[in-house]
Structure 1
Amino acid sequence: MPELITNPTLDRLLSTTEQIIRERGCRRTTLQEIMNRSGLSKGAIYHYVTSKDELFGLIFKSRMEAVNTRFFEAVKSARRELDQPLKAITEGLRHIHNEKDVSNQIFIYLLSQQENPAIREMLREIYDHSVRTAAIWIETGQKNGVIPDSLDARKMADMFVVLSYGLRARSMISTEAVSFSMDDFHELMHHMLSEHSRGG
């Protein structure tokens, strides 16, 4: 899957595809409909991706990049505090509780296609990208002195992604009121990182 370097054409492609997914779902979204609505040729789309499924993966990745941007904006103004950057992450992930959210629909759709080797590889790449991004957040906290160096950033990042993926799956299975919310997720992460910072 290509690296995500946005520009107006790619932004139009992603936003158009998201809109169609909202209206029709992943399975009924076609490249032809994306071409019709975005005004982009097949060649223009294939400049960025080689398939509809790869385009869906790019949308999923773009959501993670948006959270990453929010995190680093919060870090700039946080003055060596943990709460504000962590809140930027959890606020940026609130959509994972929404069964109608495009990224959740893509997540379930791609999982349902994982017998396809190309999609299985894409899912692995998305997962690895998510863990790397979360590890960077933790390492940034370590560099700023709010998370101790003794914390295994990769292990904590993996746990973070596993938990967020579980929340995504739950949102697609159950629409009833949840007992573990994003506020609870925030508190859990804050508690774990605070415990480590006290050496506990």
Structure 2
Amino acid sequence: MTRTTDGNGVAPVPRRLLAAATRLFAEQGYARTSVQEIVEAAGVTKGALYHYFGSKEDLLHEVYARVLRLQQERLDAFAGADAPVEQRLRDAAADVVVTTIENLDDAAIFFRSMHHLSPEKHRQVRAERRRYHERFRALVEEGQRAGVFSTDTPADLVVDYHFGSVHHLSTWYRPDGPLGPREVADHLAGLLLRALRP
């Protein structure tokens, strides 16, 4: 179980730094947010930030990486479940929508600010995303081999179609809108499964 607070009810320093950075990056942008503003909002020293993250860029990378780690763990669990491939793909397709909406600031920050990452970190993020997409694509291909899904459209295009919708969520989804995260997830997963029917 992840520890959210210490024994005194205070969030650990890395969590406070990430929460402060996420809020400030979302409100005023990565480039316009200073290290000083982050540490003041988190109630820690600059030394603490550099101890845990090394740089503001490391914080930006972690904002995205923590969501991707969560999504990868959940996808691995769905993909490895003892269920028909259609159900496993539907569950995985819906879950990535829900977890993206639940972390909408993180997604928006990352897609707006990814160009601030160094080439090395940029490559690292692309490799992490590629691993996720490849595991998702493997589910599509499994269903295609079994004859459950149509082979008319290549699996790569199917994956790009779904994740194009997911990556676009931060531009239009509003928590006070007519659809909740689960409803959006069900609609988008349903569209994906309908597109794959033989």
TM-score between the two structures when normalised by the length of structure 2: 0.63
Correspondence for 1:45 among 53, 59, 80: 53
User: Do the aligned partners of residues 44 and 121 (structure 1) sit closer, same or farther apart at CA in structure 2, a change above 3 Å counting?
Assistant: closer
Runs of 5+ consecutive residues of structure 1 not aligned to the other structure:
1-11
User: Do the aligned partners of residues 84 and 38 (structure 1) sit closer, same or farther apart at CA in structure 2, a change above 3 Å counting?
Assistant: farther
Q: 1:110: Cα distance to partner?
A: 0.9
Q: Cα RMSD over matched residues?
A: 4.0
Residue in 1 aligned with 2:134? 135
Q: Distance in 2 between matches of 1:123 and 1:175?
A: 33
Residue in 2 aligned with 1:19? 19
Contact kept? 1:18, 1:102, Cα under 8 Å = no
Correspondence for 1:162 among 161, 164, 171: 164
Correspondence for 1:36 among 18, 31, 44: 44
TM-score between the two structures when normalised by the length of structure 1: 0.62
Q: Which has the larger radius of gyration?
A: 2
Runs of 5+ consecutive residues of structure 2 not aligned to the other structure:
1-11
Q: Give identity over the alignment, percent.
A: 11
Q: Distance in 2 between matches of 1:56 and 1:109?
A: 11
Q: What's the secondary structure of 1:77's corresponding residue?
A: coil
One-letter amino acid matched to 2:86? L
Q: What's the secondary structure of 1:93's corresponding residue?
A: helix
One-letter amino acid matched to 1:163? S
How is 1:1-200 mapped onto 2 (pairs within 5 angstroms)? 15-21=15-21, 23-26=23-26, 27=29, 28=33, 30=35, 32-33=39-40, 36=44, 40=48, 42-46=50-54, 51-97=55-101, 101-107=104-110, 109-110=112-113, 114=115, 118=117, 126=125, 129-143=128-142, 145=146, 147=149, 151-171=153-173, 176-177=177-178, 181-193=184-196, 195=197, 198=198
